[in-house]
A and B are shown apart, each in its own frame.
Chain A
């Protein structure tokens, strides 16, 4: 499809389990973002890539969170040893790059940690 694609759409993980969330950005988009959205809240920035370079990871809440984009296209957000507070929607977004270019969001991966 033409939009940002995320998988899985829904994931239930047992506490302590590792999870991997995938994002397939819009073709040609240089910038890729991960956001975390807790229930009833606005999206919170996690990390940002420009091509394969991770330029900003200031929003990652702990060292259990890790993101990569090795070939500058698909990205994976990995959460190790999941905890209940990790339950949220994880949104991926992409854009052509700087100067306020419109950022397009995927439908999100809904993670529930039980």
Chain B
């Protein structure tokens, strides 16, 4: 069975602080994909990143960075120098590549960036 756990329900930080959103996953598949999506108040899920299970290189995109560690089944997301516009709900998700690409989502972390 596949499962994604985001233990942090809600986080509040002051603008310009760094913040890390945790994600732990479970799967029996040897090949899989991990995702992060952002959901602003408008409701649309905005794609942020996709990682293949064979690629454990960390990735940085501007103020965003992702730390994928297969040994601990974690795929954490860090926002550096947070801004108010980063306020949203963030979802970590998982899909297996040897079947259809159905995505299983975590319950999300609501991030508040305080001015």
The chain A residues found within 8 Å of chain B, CB to CB, are: 31, 33, 41-45, 48, 50, 55-56, 89, 91, 93, 95, 97-108, 110
Contacts and interface: CB of A to CB of B under 8 A. Distances in A.
A42 B110 CA distance: 11
Contact of A99 (B45, B91, B97, B108): B97
Interface string B32-43: 110001000011
Interface residues of B, number: 23
Contacts of B52: 100
A42 B2 CA distance: 15
Interface of B: 32-33, 37, 42-47, 50, 52, 91, 95, 97, 100-108
A5 to B, nearest CB: 11
B100 A31 contact: yes
B101 A107 contact: no
Contact of A33 (B42, B97, B102): B102
Given A56-B102, A95-B101, A104 B47 contact: yes
